Amino acid sequence: MKILFRQKLIFGVILLTLSCSFIYAYSFLFFINKELSANENTSFLNDSSSTIGYNLLARTEERIDNFRTSSLQTISPPFLGNILNKVTFHDDTLKLSYPFPPDDRVKINLTSSYPWSTICKLFITADDDTEWIGSGAMLDEFHILTCGHCVYTHENGGWVKEVKVVPGMNSSYEPFGHAYATYFRTYTQWIQDEMFQHDWAVVTLDRTIGNQTGWMGRKTADPLDSIYTGTLHTAGYPGDLDLGLNMYYDSDVGEDADNYNHWYWMDSAPGQSGGPVWEESGGNYYILTINAYEYENGTYANMGTRLNQDKFDQINIWLEEDTPPDDNSNGTPPDNSFLISTFIAVGVIAAVSGLVIVSVRRSKPELPTFEPSQEDIPLYREESELSEEPQEVVKICPVCGQKIMRDSQRFCTSCGYEFINTSDF
């Protein structure tokens, strides 16, 4: 009996040992598999920050995977430019008013003054030879910030053939000349999946034109930060006014922000895609967002691609990767030949949703839904088809004679004169 009991005891110990070993092995493999799965998922999530570049001169595409950690930097300083006797607008000129129906966009005449000099008009030729217009903002001496759909159009052949960049364009006048794009950088998630969360691009230019124009600073913060819901500004070249040849500006408040996008109530129209959304702080201007989209029928605030920490850091990396071009930084003579051909058959970048005119501020719906429109919006119209609602002149600038259409306007948008007493009205 003792021997039998001892054998049973030994057998039990062996069985228990084997069971424990099996459980340990299974647990080990389970956690290893979980770790591998986690790594795979992380890789997929981080794929959005994989850089894809396109060389316009060589017509070659390359994908560059960036492995980096987030920086602690959240502000990049502005630069006013090197032009002698360059006019800088008083800060309050960027705080004209909130929307006044039917339209409160203000035409900017002194486009060679800072910060308007940093706003760029884009003439874009797609791969299928269709022509488009857009906007952008100087980042440094030879880079601009714009939308991804200004450099890669999914419905028109992919990478565009040419982008002509004209900072501060005023009708047919190019105060700083122009530059051409030589290289594009964006995220693979825009190229492959057309994700509006990553609709953005940095464009390398063939001239250091930014030395003359200057550039705004850049800023990022937590999406809950009040900078995204405070007073904001945007400017660009809307195609519904003056055939897109002149710069228009608007100011209003922000509505909301998330990890990737930013919503705001400034008016915009086709042709302003890629223009900056900025805030004024301490007398300086900082780009927060790239103007890009609007909800169908204006059911909610306009939307842009926010410079979150990832995109803020990525800009710094991209700017450091390029060698400055060897150019004539004194300026390229104005060239209006492109303008003549543009009006024959020109469209406005529409991309995922298309920008639609919003002239009256709308209240926030309870359940907003993003409804993209695939229709292109033609810019060219016969002159007889163009109509403007008459506006009453409420005052005239005593310095330059500019007609002022809004009683609330404190500054002349032509010369910057401040209306300080009733004799000016």
Instruction: Flag the least confident range among 233-242, 289-298, 403-412.
Output: 403-412
Report the C-alpha gap between 54 and 183 in whole angstroms: 6
pLDDT score for 230: 97
pLDDT score for 107: 95
Same domain, 234 and 146: yes
- Single-letter amino acid code for the residue at 17: T
Winning range, highest mean pLDDT, from 60-69, 77-86, 349-358: 60-69
Residue 15, in any domain of the structure: no
Mean of the per-residue pLDDT values of the chain: 73
**Does residue 369 carry a pLDDT above 50?**
no
Average pLDDT over residues 347-369: 33
Task: State the CB neighbour count (10 A cutoff) for residue 357.
Answer: 19
Q: Where are the beta strands (DSSP E) in 140-200?
A: 143-146, 152-153, 158-159, 162-167, 179-187
Question: What does the block give as tokens for 47?
Answer: 């794929």
The band of 83, judged by pLDDT with boundaries at 50, 70 and 90, is low
**Does residue 128 carry a pLDDT above 80?**
yes
Average pLDDT over residues 13-18: 59
Same domain, 239 and 367: yes
Please state the φ and ψ torsions of residue 368, each to the nearest 5 degrees.
-70, 140
Instruction: Flag the least confident range among 127-136, 222-231, 332-341.
Output: 332-341
Same domain, 370 and 403: no
CA distances from 359 to 100, 265, 269 (A): 8, 10, 9
Same domain, 200 and 337: yes
Report the C-alpha gap between 412 and 418 in whole angstroms: 7
Q: Tell whether pTM > 0.95.
A: no
Report the C-alpha gap between 16 and 67 in whole angstroms: 47
Residue 42, in any domain of the structure: no
Same domain, 268 and 405: no
Residue 6, in any domain of the structure: no
Same domain, 265 and 365: yes
Average pLDDT over residues 378-391: 32
Count of domains for the chain: 2
Please state the φ and ψ torsions of residue 13, each to the nearest 5 degrees.
-65, -45
Residue 299, in any domain of the structure: yes
Winning range, highest mean pLDDT, from 20-34, 193-207, 324-338: 193-207
**Does residue 20 carry a pLDDT above 70?**
no
Report the C-alpha gap between 390 and 404 in whole angstroms: 13
pLDDT score for 81: 82
Same domain, 102 and 209: yes
pLDDT score for 172: 87
**Does residue 101 carry a pLDDT above 50?**
no
Residue 183, in any domain of the structure: yes
Residue 3, in any domain of the structure: no
**Does residue 102 carry a pLDDT above 90?**
no
Same domain, 372 and 403: no
Same domain, 273 and 250: yes
Same domain, 299 and 424: no
- Sequence-ordered alpha helix ranges (H) in 81-181: none
Average pLDDT over residues 16-28: 49
Winning range, highest mean pLDDT, from 13-22, 238-247, 333-342, 409-418: 238-247
Note the pLDDT tens digit of each residue in 297-355: 677 899 999 999 999 999 999 999 999 998 654 445 444 444 433 322 233 333 333 33
pLDDT score for 240: 87
**Does residue 163 carry a pLDDT above 70?**
yes
Report the C-alpha gap between 235 and 17 in whole angstroms: 74
Greater model confidence, 91 or 24: 24
CATH code at 182?
A: 2.40.10.120
Please state the φ and ψ torsions of residue 17, each to the nearest 5 degrees.
-65, -45
Same domain, 332 and 406: no
Class of residue 219 by CB neighbours under 10 A (exposed 0-12, middle 13-18, buried 19+)? buried
Average pLDDT over residues 2-31: 51
Report the C-alpha gap between 251 and 410 in whole angstroms: 14
Domain that holds residue 286: 53-389
The band of 170, judged by pLDDT with boundaries at 50, 70 and 90, is very high
- Sequence-ordered alpha helix ranges (H) in 47-199: 188-193
The band of 113, judged by pLDDT with boundaries at 50, 70 and 90, is very high
Same domain, 407 and 263: no
Please state the φ and ψ torsions of residue 384, each to the nearest 5 degrees.
-70, -20
- Could you tell me what percent of the chain has a pLDDT over 90? 49
Average pLDDT over residues 228-257: 95
